[in-house]
Amino acid sequence: MKKTNPPRSPFSTPLSRAARETELRIRGIFQWKKQRPPLPFLALMAAAVLMCGGLVSCQAEAETSLPETELWLDYLTLDNFPWDGSQEIQLPEYPDITFRWTPGEVAALEREGEFSLISGMPVMNVFLCDLTGDGNREFCATVAMGSGIVDYHIVAYDYAAKTEYILEARGEYDYTLSLEDGQLRVSRRVYQGGPPLQNAPVSTGLLSISPEGVLEMKDERLAEPPAPPEGYGPVELDAGLLQLAAGETTLEHPYEFLTQEESALLQNLPAAELPREAVEISHALRQDYWRDVLLPVACDEGADVTVYFVAGGMPDVEPLVSPAMWDLRPDGIVLRHGGRTAYFPLYWGGNAHFVSNPLLLADDLDGDGQPEAALVLTTGWGTGCFVSNLYIFDLDDMTYTTPDCSSVPMDITCNGEQTSARIESGGQALEVDLTQLGIPFPGAVELGNQVAFQLVDGKLVCHLELDFACNTGGYLAGADFPIVYEDGGYKLGPATALYNNLNW
């Protein structure tokens, strides 16, 4: 414990010259049995002791205030980065240690040798901030890492405790540090794979270590997107094709490829006899197809849900042989929930083409306290095209609905020269270089040729590629829109991520 000098004041001078002597005098006063001291004297002594304690407390509080947060070095913009340089610093917390920064690391020069604290490719900036509250500042740095996929994350190193803390979301978000009004702040940006400051931050917050010892953003808040440059005008967003593509793809003639006996079986399926566990399509054997018709392709054990592809035209092969998926005829799906089943004439030919299982999510998607079953089927493909459909099943009445994609919460503008476009959605902004199109910008952006419903962090999103050429060849950017439930239906919410495809 750090020793402190006793406080100096006119009220403290009557006390002894040492804490031990003070203790003995007070102890003697309270143990003096010959004569009881006068009451005013005792009151005066008590007041003196209390006042001294208050003064010591005030001094202790002043001494335990956190040391100042400061910048050591910052090359985050990469301007004139000293790739062959180095810098050294000494801190009052560690008077006998010199700390050295080089592009690849921050190290402590100890008597025993060099001790590496933080590594990076490179270490782009370093701040000194007491995150643990022990009076010793940690080294906090923005670090680039990776040779192919380069991400930016935060590393904090507690030299006193020899402990490292990391804040990262590789491939999803980039994190950078800055000093604002004496506070060490974190900016979170959607991962782009380019320079760290190329796009606007999604949110900002204070760098902090949680009680559980996790490096985190405290008091995180959404960042306001910067205003578009002057001279930018609106761009038409053509989502007509998206409304068609993201709807439903049903069979024109259900049961077309089934025998009369197989068709009758689907009308009265014995749920108790159906297999529960899903089978990987790429390894499915003939014996995995129940009655040569139903292949279990997705399941959720917790919700007791299984999805089956209805396949017609089973070839005459041995039970342990895999029939080629492209030789089978998609003839709808069957949904099982508990002891109930239902047939739906939904197309799954894209899953057969790519030999891939469909995505199934059982969750409470509409907030009614009961799970729904969300199923994603691949329905369209081709040069520059890929389309999937999302069906959300109500497990109570075994019916489904699809999200309304008629309105896309996104604004696009471009400059008068039509050389640069700006995308805004969900508090984010992204600049796009239109000169990379190779053709004159047509003045509109088309949606619907690439539609992929996916799971991101356990949530359903619709990933859309933005075609700036309107010919399936100008996908300069993409966006993720969450599926939200509002006003009795499902629709696209503001984007959670914007992607610059030129940086991939």
User: Is residue 176 a part of any domain in this protein?
Assistant: yes
Percentages of the chain per state (helix, strand, coil), in multiples of 5: 15, 40, 40
pLDDT tens across 123-155, in order? 999 999 999 999 999 999 999 998 777 899 999
Order of strands, edge to edge, in the sheet holding 428-433?
Answer: 233-234, 411-414, 420-425, 428-433
pLDDT at 50: 52
User: Is residue 368 a part of any domain in this protein?
Assistant: yes
Domain boundary among 368, 401, 434: 401
Domain boundary among 401, 421, 437: 401
Domain boundary among 43, 65, 87: 65
- Both 302 and 372 in one domain: the answer is yes
The residue-averaged pLDDT of 418-446 equals: 91
Answer with the residue of higher pLDDT: 32 or 445. 445
pLDDT tens across 379-422, in order? 999 988 999 999 999 999 999 999 999 899 999 999 989 999 99
Does residue 24 carry a pLDDT above 70?
A: no
Report CA-CA distances (Å) from 327 to 59, 289, 322, 386, 476.
84, 14, 11, 21, 36
Q: Which neighbouring-strand residues pair with 123?
A: 143
Strand segments, DSSP code E, in 181-328 are 183-190, 203-209, 215-222, 233-234, 236-238, 294-300, 305-312
pLDDT tens across 97-130, in order? 999 999 999 999 999 999 999 999 999 999 999 9
User: Is residue 251 a part of any domain in this protein?
Assistant: no
User: Is residue 253 a part of any domain in this protein?
Assistant: no
Rg, the chain, Cα only: 34
Residue 147 structure tokens: 């040779």
- Which pTM value belongs to this model? 0.63
- Both 213 and 122 in one domain: the answer is yes
Does residue 28 carry a pLDDT above 90?
A: no
- Both 367 and 319 in one domain: the answer is yes
Share of the chain above pLDDT 90, in %: 64
Band of pLDDT at residue 51, cut at 50, 70 and 90:
low
- Both 102 and 174 in one domain: the answer is yes
State how far the Cα of 401 lies from the Cα of 370, in Å rounded to an integer.
Answer: 16
pLDDT at 107: 97
Whether the CB-CB separation of 175 and 184 falls below 8 Å is answered with: no
Residue 135 structure tokens: 């009076």
Whether the CB-CB separation of 343 and 267 falls below 8 Å is answered with: yes
pLDDT at 172: 83
User: Is residue 389 a part of any domain in this protein?
Assistant: yes
Q: What is the three-class DSSP state of 314?
A: coil
- Both 303 and 329 in one domain: the answer is yes
User: Is residue 320 a part of any domain in this protein?
Assistant: yes
The residue-averaged pLDDT of 294-301 equals: 97
On average, the pLDDT of the chain sits at: 85
State how far the Cα of 405 lies from the Cα of 382, in Å rounded to an integer.
Answer: 22
User: Is residue 252 a part of any domain in this protein?
Assistant: no
pLDDT tens across 165-174, in order? 999 998 888 9
- Both 1 and 113 in one domain: the answer is no
Structural domains of the chain, count: 4
- Both 3 and 127 in one domain: the answer is no
- Both 304 and 362 in one domain: the answer is yes
pLDDT at 427: 84
pLDDT at 25: 39
Of 39-43, 284-288, 322-326, 466-470, the one with minimum mean pLDDT is 39-43
Does residue 445 carry a pLDDT above 90?
A: yes
Q: Return the number of other C-beta atoms located less than 10 Å from residue 450's C-beta.
A: 21
Does residue 307 carry a pLDDT above 90?
A: yes
pLDDT at 226: 63
User: Is residue 250 a part of any domain in this protein?
Assistant: no
Whether the CB-CB separation of 270 and 477 falls below 8 Å is answered with: no
- Both 483 and 436 in one domain: the answer is yes
| Residue range of the domain that includes 107 | 70-222
- Both 20 and 133 in one domain: the answer is no
The residue-averaged pLDDT of 353-373 equals: 95
Of residues 471, 426, 425, 420, the one with CA closest to residue 448: 471
pLDDT at 47: 54
Interstrand relation of 163-167 and 151-158 (parallel, antiparallel or unpaired)? antiparallel
- Both 86 and 173 in one domain: the answer is yes
Does residue 504 carry a pLDDT above 90?
A: no
Of residues 260, 326, 314, 309, the one with CA closest to residue 287: 314
- Both 412 and 462 in one domain: the answer is yes
pLDDT tens across 474-493, in order? 999 999 999 999 999 999 99
